[in-house]
Amino acid sequence: MRVCIKYDSDFICRAVLKEQFEELGIPFNIHSLGELEINEHLSAEQRSALIAALKKYGIEIIDDPKMALVQRIKYAIDDMLEDDMAKLQKISTYLADKLNYSYTYLSNLFSESTYTSIENFIILRKVDHAKELITNTDLTLTEIAYRLNYSSVAHLSGQFKKTTGLTPTAFQKIIEKRKQNSIRPA
């Protein structure tokens, strides 16, 4: 039997971190998504045990400060896409203010590390978000375009097709067909 589930990845990550850190007896504080503070010095054995415990869940510690900043940029972009007030700001201003670096530095670092621009990454994240909304809600394309801060449905459709090769309407039809096929008795 196939069942659909809904989950909050941020909640799950926090729960896994809490469980693993408590199990290892390591005091910590979570500052934001993807960033926490360990409240005591770790021995080599503790660090190895922590790395192994987190690896089971696909969580890794990033030691390279530049790669950590790239990850913080990605999380800030995700936060921006969820925050209606943040959507009103230019991305360059938002990221520079949130991360306390010049946008030029952030943009260059991101491009060097990921081989794509911040702007392209945002488009990919917005299209992923659109796919989630199409799949998991009954929102119209107009509502989705508005929610994702597109100027029009045509703008959303153009980026969606360029990224996925499908129009949002074609994607909706595929999802509907899959849902109908999964409901039919075997």
Assigned domain for 142 exists: yes
What is the rounded distance in angstroms from the CA atom of residue 96 to the CA atom of residue 165? 33
Regarding whether 104 and 70 lie in a shared domain, the answer is yes
Regarding whether 97 and 140 lie in a shared domain, the answer is no
Within 25-102, residue ranges assigned H as helices are 44-55, 65-82, 91-99
Regarding whether 44 and 26 lie in a shared domain, the answer is yes
Regarding whether 68 and 49 lie in a shared domain, the answer is no
Regarding whether 54 and 100 lie in a shared domain, the answer is no
Crossing angle for the helix pair 118-136 and 153-164, to the nearest 10 degrees? 100
Tokens of 117: 């621009």
Regarding whether 168 and 126 lie in a shared domain, the answer is yes
pLDDT digits (tens, 9 = 90+) for 72-123: 999 899 888 887 666 667 899 999 999 999 999 999 999 999 999 999 999 9
Owning domain of residue 50: 11-61
The per-residue pLDDT string of the chain (186 residues; one tens digit each, 9 = 90 and over) reads 667 777 788 888 888 999 999 999 998 888 776 788 888 888 889 889 999 999 999 988 888 999 999 999 998 998 888 876 666 678 999 999 999 999 999 999 999 999 999 999 999 999 999 999 998 888 999 999 988 888 899 999 999 999 999 999 999 888 888 877 776 655
Regarding whether 174 and 124 lie in a shared domain, the answer is yes
Assigned domain for 5 exists: no
Assigned domain for 144 exists: yes
Assigned domain for 184 exists: no
Asked whether the beta carbons of 37 and 28 are under 8 A apart, the reply is: yes
Assigned domain for 1 exists: no
Assigned domain for 2 exists: no
Asked whether the beta carbons of 120 and 128 are under 8 A apart, the reply is: no
Number of domains in the chain: 3
